[in-house]
């Protein structure tokens, strides 16, 4: 059976589309008798409004677009939890897309969300994102944009992040104060700002404590920062007989990969080599030894990002000027048995 349209209800009753629409929306312009007839007929025909058309008339769709680099990371799943829970309180649906750390896919997804006429967009940039025309396109359409976690400072929009430099710096200083001097760094790719900031925090902590920076102790993790990167880099470190007493990894998953290889080689953690992670995923507290790490407030990052986006949507509806915000959420060190 074809879907009943508003004009079908209007034709049956001999009324205009406008009168039927107003009657269904309980407008004061329509008499009570006409409202009853229209609403009764609509129920008999199982008529339901075309919500897309309704939203477009109201100039909003009650949908939000979210683009994240990957779904598998516990960190991003908690961010999504925060986004969805806050969005649902205001009656918004969330479209979640995964860029797979690809700028070309990220661009396609931005175009898709613009075509879907979402009310706002939240993005954590891919590792490959090094030009930003697609982000400027969002802003040119007057669509609120919030960047979170992996951001680009030059884009004129609100941002929610942590201080990656300070978190890495504090982690390495902690290791130094515990007596570790030869600290390797399993770093992320050269492009994302948070990866660069964590590397710079590591390097500065060494220099501020009178330890020479040794480039041979830095190992690149270029496979989207996963478990295999940690495992293979630990293998390279041991195979090349590079003497270290600690490893500072850019993510917990990389740190866990390193621990697995060290344990296979019967290298004791932390007695022979300590390991420090970043993010405080659930796995960090259940592996053996439990992993020391930086706690990132992922859920709060999602919630705060969504709150800022909703505020900007409301501000634009009121034809007011949006004031962009840059929120830096606090982190803390979680010290466990791996160091």
For the whole model, what pTM was predicted?
Answer: 0.84
Q: Count Cβ atoms below 10 Å from residue 39 Cβ, excluding itself.
A: 16
The CATH class for the domain spanning 164-295 reads alpha beta
Phi and psi at residue 19, in whole multiples of 5°?
A: -65, -45
pLDDT given at position 35? 86
pLDDT tens for 230-268 read 999 999 999 999 999 999 999 999 999 999 999 999 999
Do residues 13 and 34 make contact, with C-beta atoms less than 8 angstroms apart?
Answer: no
d(CA 97, CA 103): 13
pLDDT given at position 53? 57
Calculate the CA dihedral of residues 247, 252, 257, 263 and round it to 10 degrees. 60
User: What's the Rg (C-alpha) of the chain?
Assistant: 26
pLDDT tens for 114-165 read 999 999 999 999 999 999 999 999 999 999 999 999 999 999 999 999 999 9
The CATH class for the domain spanning 63-161+298-329 reads alpha beta
10-residue averages of pLDDT along the chain (339 residues): 77 86 82 87 79 60 95 88 97 96 96 95 96 97 97 97 98 98 95 94 98 97 80 97 97 96 97 97 94 97 98 95 97 97
pLDDT given at position 131? 95
pLDDT given at position 72? 73
User: Kind and range of the H or E element at 168?
Assistant: helix 164-177
pLDDT given at position 243? 96
pLDDT given at position 30? 86
List the chain domain ranges: 6-49, 63-161+298-329, 164-295
CA of residue 65 relative to chain centroid, distance: 11
Q: Is residue 192 helix, strand or coil?
A: coil
Distances, alpha carbon 183 to alpha carbons 15, 167, 196, in Å: 79, 16, 17
Query: What are the DSSP calls for 111-171, one per residue?
Result: HHHHHTT-SEEEE---TT----HHHHHHHHTT--EEEESS--TTSSSEEEEE-HHHHHHHH
pLDDT given at position 46? 83
Instruction: Say yes or no: do domains 63-161+298-329 and 164-295 share a fold.
Output: yes
């Amino acid at each position: 059976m074809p879907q009943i349209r508003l004009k079908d209800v209007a034709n049956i009753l001999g009324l205009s589309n406008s009168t039927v629409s107003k009657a269904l929306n309980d407008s004061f312009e329509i008499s009570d008798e006409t409202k009853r007839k229209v609403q009764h007929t609509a129920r008999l025909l199982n008529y339901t409004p075309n919500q897309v058309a309704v939203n477009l008339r109201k100039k909003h769709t009650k949908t939000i677009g979210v683009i994240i680099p990957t779904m598998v990371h516990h960190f991003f799943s908690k961010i999504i939890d925060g986004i969805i829970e806050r969005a649902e309180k205001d009656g918004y649906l969330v479209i979640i897309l995964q860029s797979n750390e690809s700028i070309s896919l990220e661009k396609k997804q931005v175009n898709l969300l613009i075509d879907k006429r979402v009310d706002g967009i939240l993005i954590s940039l891919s590792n490959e994102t090094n030009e930003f025309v697609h982000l400027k396109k969002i802003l040119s359409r007057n669509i609120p944009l919030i960047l979170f976690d992996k951001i680009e400072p030059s884009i004129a929009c609100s941002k929610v992040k942590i201080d990656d430099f300070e978190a890495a710096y504090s982690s390495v200083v902690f290791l130094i104060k515990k007596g570790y001097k030869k600290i390797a760094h399993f770093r992320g790719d050269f492009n994302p700002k948070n990866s660069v900031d964590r590397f710079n925090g590591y390097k500065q902590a060494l220099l501020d404590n009178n330890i020479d920076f040794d480039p041979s102790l830095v190992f690149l993790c270029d496979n989207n920062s996963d478990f295999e990167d940690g495992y293979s880099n630990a293998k390279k470190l041991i195979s090349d007989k590079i003497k270290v007493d600690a490893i500072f990894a850019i993510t917990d998953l990389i740190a866990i990969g390193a621990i697995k290889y060290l344990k296979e080689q019967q290298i004791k953690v932390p007695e022979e080599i300590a390991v420090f992670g970043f993010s405080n995923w659930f796995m960090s507290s259940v592996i053996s030894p439990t992993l020391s790490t930086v706690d990132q407030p992922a859920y709060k990052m999602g919630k705060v990002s969504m709150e800022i986006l909703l505020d900007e949507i409301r501000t634009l509806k009121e034809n007011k000027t949006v004031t962009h915000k840059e929120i830096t959420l606090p982190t803390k060190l979680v010290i466990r048995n791996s160091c």
